[in-house]
Amino acid sequence: MSTVKLTIDGQEVIARQDSSILQAAKSAGIKVPTLCFHERLNPIGSCHLCVVEVDGKGTPVEACKTPVADGMSVVTSSDMLAGMRRKSLQRLLAHHPLDCPICDKAGACRLQDLVFELGVRADTYEEPKDRVEVAYATSLIKYWRDRCVYCQRCAAACREIKGVGALEFVETDGVLELTVDPEKCVSCGECLQVCPTGALTENLSPLKARRFVGKKVATTCTYCGCGCQIELNVLDNRVASVIGRGDAAVNQGSMCVKGRFGYEFIGSDQRLTTPLIKRNGRFEEAGWDEALDLIARRLNKIKSEHGPDAIGGFSSARCTNEENYLFQKFMRAVIGTNNVDHCARL
């Protein structure tokens, strides 16, 4: 791929020919504010926050969707641009309630950050005349219509990343409306992962923990062999929510319905909490010492009576590498058999 040379804020920048001004600026360490732009999506161009001045063009252009050109000269910050950005933001705030105190997204909201960064006030907010609760296609995700800033990331992600295309923005009488096709939606939650505001939120956890309140733990999803990199948000020893980790090379922030919403089993009241020993056909609760002693005694006895190959072990594709390693070590070194396998085949 050939490259072009341009200047951004007086700095000479070499960029790939097919890159946008935004990408070129980013590669040179120059920050341009954005809202609708998302790394994995084609530029949407709906928020107009990324405006920059380009020599020879009368009006500023959106950096996210304007390709670079050889010899181009770009300015990313000026009083005029700052004014335009503030106006764009104010236009959004005219319909976006600042209900941050009751919003799931507070503290992790791109809009909130921008308002803070650019020092905008929401003087122009107009209460919507009719507050309609728009039900989402699935009971797992909630759509707070008033908070939507119509960036359209959600629909783009559903279409471009997931290939599902359940979300669409339809314009009637100049008003954009998010429509959801319940037949297509699989509740993967990609939409809420990319939503920059609290317009799309998860509707599952009874536990409310903002992202800056809970303990955040980076880990790996337990469901399938993709191994998505995820973050558990934990409060009071319960998982309050799961999100995809955007920095990770594996899933780049994406997840599926199991990974995002399948965490309830962790806190299920059906979890085993104590060893159980069967006596006369019924399980009785037991202490660890009692259970472990019984196991050691029985296994030793069977081993001495029938030989080690009369004992078999199933290790587990759900356990960690370390546990699987230890399990086969146990079967081979302690029991003395190679009868160890797991359900990989099943």
Partner 1 sequence: MTNPFKDVLNSKVILLTGTNTTANHPIIANYIHEAVTKRGAKLIVADPRKIKLVDISEVWLRPRVGTNVAWINGLMHVIIRDNLQAQAYIDERTTGFDELKKCLAKYTPKYVADITGIPEKDLIAAARLYATAGPGSIFYAMGITQHTSGTNNVKSLASLAMLCGNIGIEGGGVNPLRGQNNVQGACDMGGLPNVFSGYQVVTSEDIRDKFAKAWNVAKLPDKVGMAVTDMGNAAGKTIKALYIMGENPVLSDPDSHHAAKGLASLDFMVVQDIFLTETAKLADVVLPSSCFAEKDGTFTNTERKVLRVRKALDAPGAALEDYRIIAAIAKRMGYPMEYSNSSAIMDEINALTPSYGGITYARLDKEDLVWPCPTKDHPGTPILHVGRFARGQGVFFSIEYQPSAELPDMDYPFVLTTGRVHWHYHTGTMSRKGTALNRMYPEALAEINEEDAKRLRVADGDYVNIVSRRGSIKVKAVVSNMTDRGVAFVPFHFYEVAVNQLTINALDPVSRIPEYKICAVRIEKAA
Q: What does the binding site for ligand SF4 look like in residue numbers (CB under 6 A)?
A: 221, 223-224, 226-228, 251, 255-256, 258-259
Tokens linked to 217: 């733990």
- Coil vs helix vs strand at 117: helix
Please state, in angstroms and rounded to a whole number, the distance separating the CA atoms of residues 231 and 219: 6
Q: How far is the CB of 107 from partner 1 (least distance, A)?
A: 20
Q: How far is the CB of 63 from partner 1 (least distance, A)?
A: 21
Residue 280 touches which of partner 1, ligand SF4, ligand FES, none (CB < 5 to 8 A by kind)?
A: none
Residue 39 touches which of ligand FES, partner 1, ligand SF4, none (CB < 5 to 8 A by kind)?
A: none
Instruction: Decide whether 37 or 261 has the Cβ nearer to ligand FES.
Output: 37
Instruction: Decide whether 200 or 204 has the Cβ nearer to partner 1.
Output: 204
- Coil vs helix vs strand at 160: helix
Strand partners, 242: 232
- Measure CA 52 to chain center: 30
Residue 64 touches which of ligand FES, ligand SF4, partner 1, none (CB < 5 to 8 A by kind)?
A: ligand FES
Q: How far is the CB of 2 from partner 1 (least distance, A)?
A: 19
Instruction: Decide whether 91 or 342 has the Cβ nearer to partner 1.
Output: 342
Instruction: Decide whether 168 or 177 has the Cβ nearer to partner 1.
Output: 168
Residue 76 near residue 64 (C-beta atoms within 8 A): no
Instruction: Decide whether 14 or 217 has the Cβ nearer to partner 1.
Output: 217
If one counts every other C-beta atom within 10 angstroms of the C-beta of residue 291, the result is 15
Binding residues for ligand FES (CB under 6 A):
34-37, 45-50, 62, 64
- Name the nearest CA neighbour of 7 among 57, 77, 72, 51: 72
Q: How far is the CB of 91 from ligand FES (least distance, A)?
A: 13
Task: Provide the phi-psi class of 107: left if phi over 0, else alpha when psi is between -120 and 50, else beta.
Answer: left
Give DSSP secondary structure letters for 21-77.
HHHHHHHTT-----SS--TTS-----S-TTEEEETT-SS-EETTTPBP-TT-EEE--
Instruction: Decide whether 91 or 238 has the Cβ nearer to partner 1.
Output: 238
Residue 188 touches which of ligand SF4, ligand FES, partner 1, none (CB < 5 to 8 A by kind)?
A: partner 1
Q: How far is the CB of 144 from ligand SF4 (least distance, A)?
A: 24
